[in-house]
A and B are shown apart, each in its own frame.
Chain A
Amino acid sequence: MKKKIVSTLLAAAMVLSLAACGGGSSDGGSSGGGSSSSDPNTIRLVNGKIEVDAQLKKLAEMYKEETGVTVEIESMGGGVDIQGTIKGYYQAGNMPDIFVNALEPEFANWKGLLADMSDEKWASDTDGAYINEDGTVGFPYSTEGIGLAYNTEILKKAGIDPTKLTGPAAIEEAFKTLDSKKGELGIDAVVGYCAEPKDLYWSTGQHLFANYLDAGLARDDTTYIDKLNDGGKLDEKRLTDFAKFVDMLNRYSDPALLVSGTYDQQILNFASGKYAFVTQGSWVGATMTTDDKDAYEAAGSFEVGMIPYAFEDGIDTILTNSPSWWSVYSEGNVDAAKAFLQWLSEDKAQKVLVEEAGFISPFKSCTYIAPDPFAKAMVDYISNEKTSSWHWLNMKEGYAMNYTGQVFADFAAGNLDVDGFVKTMQQVSEACYAN
């Protein structure tokens, strides 16, 4: 009998371990149907920026008071696989009415499932909506910009007017002036440009290269990205001009940063007033006011601005886009969701989004200015309609990481000259698209 008890216990232990192995793992399980809440007075929003959770909840409360519609805010962030989670919601028939999408393949996931918002009032008030074959499917909630950022005070001290820096010659002239006054201005280098290929390939291969693709073009102009996606072709003339500009960045950059620097080093030095220019976009404003707060304050919390990467005469736009978009699920509570997004684009909500959440508004009618150092510069470009869109998100996978980032690094290290850079870019680009 005792034997039997022992064997039964053992069998039970085995069952438990098997159950641990298999059971309790059905979180992907589902219960049919695709639509979420049936209550027309409730909508659910999945937000991808957890840092603005409080502000969004405040907006939801304001909206409830005004209209009686409840908005549930579900914020995710901090390394959560948001798209994966939403796919799980989809399988479980628990879709939110509004959710976040960023990259092109993410929108492609939801092909046919996102509501077209082209008829909404806000759609004509912004250049930042995400538009694909399904129509206007992405609501822009913020704006980021790519331009050549500068330290206003240093330029002022050196007697340089940033509005005059409209072409490569003028910029080169300004760089020369700054370089000759380095000691007097207390700067280490004219520009903080980093072409490190392993961790910063995105800065060169994506953001800097985005200027080759889009700078100076109308927002719907896709000439160069189309050409690139057609077998990796690059326009020799435009690329040569671009290469000359990058060559200038190479020559005037901080040599300690240029080839093996890091993002932190780059931003810390800029925030400390050691560079007049930095080759990063508007997002560094957030880094300067949080991680590098002490250094930025010690350097006098100087004003900053942005000039276009004018590698050809006539380029007068910076690149702006929303970092991600909010989409409406077409089988959810579409009308209520659309109404909420429309409300978000209007004055009362914009005040909270801009002044409290720190977003740079993508809407032309918005008059508020975020506390971000780059907000003013960006708003000027947006309201003057001097912006281009960016299309580097549509480049082939791995294009910057495995191919062009390294070419920028070789160019910076002096292994390539301007011609060599152009030829190598063309060759590497074709190689990337060939397999």
Chain B
Amino acid sequence: MAENSKNTKLLSVVLLVAGIAGLVIALYLDFTRSSAAFRGPLLVIGAIAALMGLYFYPTVEHHRSIINFIFLFPLLFAFAVTVIIPLILGIFYSFTDWNGIRLTSFVGFGNYVSMFKDPAFIWSILLTFLFVVFNMVLINIVGFLLALLCTSKMRGVNFFRASYFLPNLIGGIVLGYIWQFVFNNVLIQVTAKWGMVNSVLANTKTAFAAIIVVYVWQYAGYIMLIYVTGLTTVPKDVLEASSIDGADALTTLFRIKIPMIAATITICTFLTLTSAFKQFDVNMALTNGSGSVADFMGSYLTNGTQMIALNIYNTAITKNAYALGQAKAVFFFIVLACVSILQVRISNKKEVEM
């Protein structure tokens, strides 16, 4: 046993020393701007060796802490590099003239001022709010009705449930093109008979409606599933009692079912709200923001169906205005954060009441 622990101690020390040496050499090469190809792998191997050395270190009282550290490290490291650091940098960049690579000066709130002076961006905000409201209402109603349908004792419920949910499996890009085909090549053959030669996507208003239709089509099945789960938690004896009391289906629905799934309704409302806010893929694949608004705040807009997420993307990527796009993104973040805080407050209040 003693020899065993001696061996592990040796192993541990060797690994620790080698690992740290590897890290130091790799970092030294980095800082001296060396371009040696092995410095990357050296850094990774060094880090792993150091962690392993730490792991094999024969200590009883600290072993648990070492394990805690090793267990937390990978996820936390990835999380910090991909979320926390970019978030902090992003907020910082929004006050500069950053161009995606470097920045030369601070502009204070300049980006924020200019974004609110841009009618196209204001339009995107308003359009997004409109989209969110439409979707929240429509998806919840459709999803709830589908859930009622699926909890009624009809035949083949499983098949229906699966087929309503199916659109949710498909990514927004592929789905956007499928629907573009439906609108531009299939529907047009029908509307042509009524004298409409142009696709519904060619007109700003109908194109916006088309995006809503596609989004409801995609999302309602998912919301339905959540409502189904909610409805099945309504106790059977309560329902039986109400039917014995002679309540008809509608009364049961409004007096018993809906109040009893209030929590589910809250969840679904916020789920549809936040996801509609972030809508990007379908918007991009279906219209890419095209469409026009003849007179909005005195100017002619060419981004009639462009919602906020796509606006941010186009500002930064297509038009190469990174700092402005970043400022818009920070604004977007603030709006979403407010919505989320509201959600938490409402859900907490509900829980207290119940």
Q: In the complex, is A directly touching B at CB under 8 Å?
A: yes
Count how many chain A residues have C-beta atoms less than 8 Å from C-beta atoms of the other chain: 43
Chain A nearest Cβ from B73, distance in angstroms:
10
Instruction: State whether B44 touches A407 (Cβ < 8 A).
Output: no
Instruction: Kindly list chain B residues whose C-beta atoms are within 8 Å of the C-beta of A435.
Output: 114, 118, 319, 321, 324
- Is B74's beta carbon under 8 Å from chain A? yes
Indicate if B260 sits at the interface (CB-CB under 8 A): no
Contact A255 B197 (CB under 8 A): yes
Supposing A23-B44, A406-B302 touch, asked if A398 and B318 sit within 8 A by C-beta, the answer is yes
Query: Which residue, of A15, A30, A197, A409, has the highest number of chain B Cβ atoms within 10 A?
Result: A197
A81 to B196, CA, bound (A): 41
Q: Is the CB of A406 within 8 A of B44?
A: no
Do residues B35 and A407 form an inter-chain contact, with CB atoms below 8 A?
A: no
**Are A198 and B40 in contact, CB atoms less than 8 angstroms apart?**
no
- Shortest Cβ distance from A427 into B: residue: B300
Query: Is A415 part of the contact surface with B, judged by Cβ < 8 Å?
Result: yes
Q: Quick check: is A35 within 8 A (CB to CB) of the other chain? A: no
B292 near A410 (CB under 8 angstroms)?
yes
**A1-47, CB < 8 A from B:** 11, 15, 18-19, 21-26, 29-32
Which of B43, B203, B287, B318 meets A198, CB within 8 Å? B287
- Measuring CB to CB, which residues of chain B are less than 8 angstroms from any residue of chain A? 35-41, 43-45, 47-48, 52, 55, 74, 114, 118, 120, 184, 188, 197-199, 201-203, 287-292, 294, 299-300, 302-304, 314, 318-321, 324
A260 to B185 CA separation, bound complex (whole angstroms): 10
Q: A32-B35, A435-B321 are in contact. Are A260 and B48 (CB under 8 A)?
A: no
**CA distance in complex: A211, B289 (Å):** 26
User: Is B300 in contact with A424, judged by CB distance below 8 angstroms?
Assistant: yes
B35 touches A18 (CB 8 A): no
Complex Cα spacing A284 to B204, Å: 30
Task: Give the nearest-CB partner of B303 in chain A.
Answer: A402
| A and B contact pairs by CB, cutoff 8 A, 6 listed | A15-B48, A397-B318, A402-B289, A409-B292, A413-B203, A435-B321
B207 to chain A, nearest CB (A): 9
Q: Does A280 contact B (CB under 8 A)?
A: no
Bound: A427/B292 CA distance, A: 13
Contact of A409 among B35, B45, B184, B290 (CB under 8 A): B290
Q: A15-B52, A31-B37 are in contact. List 19 more A-B contacts (CB 8 A).
A: A19-B48, A23-B41, A26-B38, A29-B39, A31-B36, A255-B197, A259-B198, A259-B202, A260-B188, A260-B199, A398-B319, A398-B320, A402-B302, A404-B302, A406-B292, A413-B203, A415-B292, A427-B299, A435-B324
Instruction: Please name all residues of chain B whose beta carbon is closer than 8 Å to the beta carbon of A22 when the two chains form the complex.
Output: 40-41, 43-44
A434 to chain B, nearest CB (A): 8
Question: Are A260 and B184 in contact (CB-based, < 8 A)?
Answer: yes
Q: In the complex, A406→B294 CA distance in Å?
A: 11
In the complex, the answer to whether A403 meets B36 with C-beta atoms within 8 Å is: no
Q: Does residue A247 face the partner (Cβ distance < 8 Å to B)?
A: no
* B198 and A198 contact, CB distance less than 8 A: no
Interface flag for A144 (CB, 8 Å)? no
B318 pairs with A91, CB closer than 8 A: no
**Does A401 count as interface, using CB distance less than 8 angstroms?**
yes
Would you list the 5 A-B pairs with minimal beta carbon distance, nearest first? A29-B37, A22-B44, A406-B302, A260-B199, A398-B319
Inter-chain contacts of A410 with B (CB < 8 A):
292
B38, B114, B314: the one within 8 Å of A402 (CB): B314
A214 part of interface (Cβ distance < 8 Å) = no
A405 at the interface (CB under 8 A from B): yes
On chain A, the residues within 8 Å of B303 by CB distance are 402, 406
Known pairs A19-B45, A26-B37, A401-B318; A415 contacts B294 (CB<8 A): yes
Nearest CB in chain A: distance from B53 CB, A: 11
Residue of B36, B45, B319 contacting most chain A CB atoms (<10 Å): B319
User: Is B302 a contact partner of A403 (Cβ separation < 8 A)?
Assistant: yes
Using known A-B contacts A19-B45, A398-B319, A435-B118, determine if residue A407 contacts B292 with beta carbons closer than 8 Å: yes
Nearest residue (CB) in B for A255 is: B197
Measured between beta carbons, the chain A residues less than 8 angstroms from B319 are: 396-398, 402, 435
In the complex, which residue of chain B has the Cβ closest to the Cβ of A196? Answer: B202
A256: which of B197, B291, B294 is its contact (CB, 8 Å)? B197
Given contacts A403-B302, A407-B292, A398 and B314 within 8 Å (CB-CB): yes
**B327 CB to nearest A CB, Å:** 11
Known interface pairs A29-B36, A260-B184, A435-B321. Does A406 touch B290 (Cβ–Cβ under 8 Å)?
Answer: yes
The 8 Å CB contact of B291, one of A29, A91, A201, A406, is A406
- Among A402, A407, A415, max chain B CB count under 10 A is at A402
Q: Closest CB-CB distance, A15 to chain B, in whole Å?
A: 5
A428, CB-defined interface residue at 8 Å: yes
Closest to B188 in A: A260
Q: Does A108 contact B (CB under 8 A)?
A: no
Verify B198–A431 contact, CB threshold 8 A: no
- Interface contact A397-B202, CB-CB below 8 Å: no
* A18 B318 Cβ-Cβ under 8 A: no
Chain A's closest residue to B197 (CB) is A255
Instruction: State how many angstroms separate the Cβ of A17 from the closest Cβ of chain B.
Output: 9
The interface residues of chain A lying within 8 Å CB-to-CB of B320 are 397-398
